[in-house]
Amino acid sequence: MRAASTALADGLFAEDTALQSMPDASPGKWHLAHTTWFFEQFVLGQDSGYCPYDARWHYLFNSYYQSVGPMHARPQRGMLSRPTLQQVLDYRAHVDARMTDLLAGCEDPTILARVTLGLHHEQQHQELFLTDLKHLLSLNPLEPAYRLRVPHRVGVEAIPLRFIDGPEGVAQIGHEGDGFAFDCETPRHRQWLHPHALANRPVSNGEYREFIRDGGYRQPALWLSEGWNTVQGRQWQRPMYWSDDLETEFTLAGRQPLEAAAPVCHLSYFEADAYARWAGARLPSEAEWEVAAAALPVQGQCFDRDVLHPRPAPAPADEGLVQLYGDVWEWTSSPYGSYPGYRPLPGALGEYNGKFMCGQYVLRGGSCVTPDGHLRATYRNFFMPPDRWQFSGLRLAIDR
């Protein structure tokens, strides 16, 4: 996992990793340093005899852990021309060497649990590295490509959209048993499911284009009040990265023709909710989504496929749900909050998830830039309703 992060910078110039395109994004160099700081702070630093690589960097690369000290302001991460990219890579090599020594024969369950958390944290930042880089490159008038490996098949048709009934009654959701999970995925608990059905696949580009052509961005009745204010204030008329004529989109391979059959992505919660209303449907709850996903293997088009863009759903082998994992994160109608009986991790690590349980919505399923092995049916991603630089799309649900 550590090597995979460093490999993300292969082929990039130092300038590419130093710039910050907006306050919500971070420079690639900062992601590489912060994920290293995590191990230095929460694993190596637990030894009172450990000498930090550079004590000044503790301030630079802390993200939001208030209980371990102050940090550099997030909107100003792009001002950090120093340390250089090479110095950050040297920092990673130093910490990796110290971690290798520490883990040799280590059986301390506390250390091993923190290392496991740190590796899953690193995978989250691998995804952020790519989503933040895409936003940065999109602002360059030259529209440079990160990699030229994104295949496009403009003539492919989407598989027919249909709804599949889900279970109803008492259901269990949340993580339990063996295997890693973040604290916000626990504890396992009961939820009541009303009669419902989920769409067999995510909404496609072609379907969303029809919403636009039907005046979807000009009909206030389709939008939540805050969503309509956002659309008006930010002058949204189409998904992020789409061209004015709705025929092309910016990708990590540069500008490419829009694939009508591929899942639509880079939608805010507001856009996903408005489209669902226009389609006479709604967004699924996270409980409905998880119960459906738990019955399927965790496999799909994620980062390891090295496609880096959503692809049309393949012809299904049966009549079931497809693309629940990978391709695009799927917005749900569920606010990001605590489960009954939730307990955050003790100490500073308790700041990892719990303090963000306010004003955000849950997304499920992962995307084309989510590392393989990082997903599970219980995984809860979360973002603010206006956020749309992530590979976020939607799957429709209806009441029965």
Cβ-count burial 92-115 (b if 16+ within 10 Å, e if not): beebeebbeebeeeeeeeebeebb
Residue 150's pLDDT is what? 57
Fold of domain 163-399: paralog of FGE (formylglycine-generating enzyme) (3.90.1580)
Alpha-helical runs (H) found in the chain: 2-7, 28-42, 57-61, 85-103, 109-138, 205-213, 225-234, 269-278, 286-294
Domain ranges of the chain: 2-138, 163-399
Contacts of 226 (CB under 8 A, 6+ apart): 270, 385
Residue 349's pLDDT is what? 87
Cβ-count burial 175-208 (b if 16+ within 10 Å, e if not): beeeeebbbbbbeeeebebeebbbbbbbbbbbbb
Cis peptide before 83 (omega within 30 of 0): yes
Low-confidence ranges of the chain (pLDDT < 70): 149-155, 317
Model pTM above 0.85: yes
Query: What letter does residue 161 receive in the DSSP assignment?
Result: P
Nearest to 231 by CA among 217, 245, 216: 217
Q: Is 400 exposed, middle or buried (0-12, 13-18, 19+ CB in 10 A)?
A: exposed
Per the DSSP assignment, residues forming a β-bridge with 282 are 397
Residue 50's pLDDT is what? 94
